[in-house]
Amino acid sequence: MIMLGNIVNTVAIIGGSILGNFFKKGLPLKIKDIIMSSMGLFLLTLAIKDAIKFNNAIFTLTCLLLGAVIGEFLMIDDNLKRLGTYFEEKFSNNDSNNDIVKGFTTTSIMFCVGAMAIVGSIKSGLTNDNEILLIKALLDGIFSLIFASKYGIGVLFSSIVVFLYQGSLYFLAFFIKNSLSENIIAEISTLGGIIMIGLAFNLLFDKNIKIGNMVPALFIPIIYNAIFG
């Protein structure tokens, strides 16, 4: 089945978000806070594991800086927030706060920039092996439940971003087939880990690092491979 892993992943996020939103008012604030702190530490650990595997520090840094400049120029982070605000205006009541926007933007980035999203989508497109995406679906379902219990329905809309993002990577891999080397995939995973560290810092220390603007860095190695590979 085409994009089986991506479809299962998307459904898991939707299901987890609905269940988490149902329990939104049933979890004490201190429980939600400690869960979010634990999630932040877990994400930081996963991110560091991926980030420290780089083979070429100069190349990785160049991709990160160039991608961040492109993302800043395109205002990706701001546009994600605008999209979250749109969903908030359409689906929230008058006394809601900024939780829907934060839930949407945080989970959209978290579910997309990790190594599992990239490598899993590429592997699915190249070989129709969905194992990585199915494992990611289980993790994302749990994460969605926890995040939705704090931020509400905004987490559900991240499923749209995940489906489109991973679907794009799937079809990209499907069409370019074997032109991506293992080194390029490793560089993409490293960049994903670095970006995830920034996301973990936002969760743990209430920072406002514009993680969304760094996402284009993930595609610089692919472009480099296409030109010089």
Kindly tell me the sign of the dihedral angle through the C-alpha atoms of 64, 119, 18, 3. positive
Give pLDDT tens digits along the chain (229 positions).
Answer: 789 999 999 999 999 999 988 876 656 778 777 877 887 888 788 788 878 877 888 999 999 999 999 999 999 888 888 877 777 667 655 545 567 788 888 888 888 876 788 888 988 998 888 988 998 998 899 889 888 888 888 899 999 999 999 999 999 888 886 777 888 888 888 888 898 898 888 878 878 888 889 989 988 998 998 888 6
pTM: 0.76
How far apart, in whole angstroms, are the C-alpha atoms of residue 206 and residue 226? 38
What pLDDT is stored for residue 95 in this prediction? 47
Tokens of 212: 């969304």
Tokens of 167: 């679907």
Give the Cα-Cα-Cα angle 152, 12, 89 (nearest 5 degrees).
Answer: 30
Instruction: Give the 3-state secondary structure of the chain.
Output: CCCHHHHHHHHHHHHHHHHHHHCHHHCCHHHHHHHHHHHHHHHHHHHHHHHCCCCCHHHHHHHHHHHHHHHHHHCHHHHHHHHHHHHHHHHCCCCCCCHHHHHHHHHHHHHHHCHHHHHHHHHHHHHCCCHHHHHHHHHHHHHHHHHHHHHCCHHHHHHHHHHHHHHHHHHHHHHHHHHCCHHHHHHHHHHHHHHHHHHHHHHHHCCCCCHHHHHHHHHHHHHHHHHHC
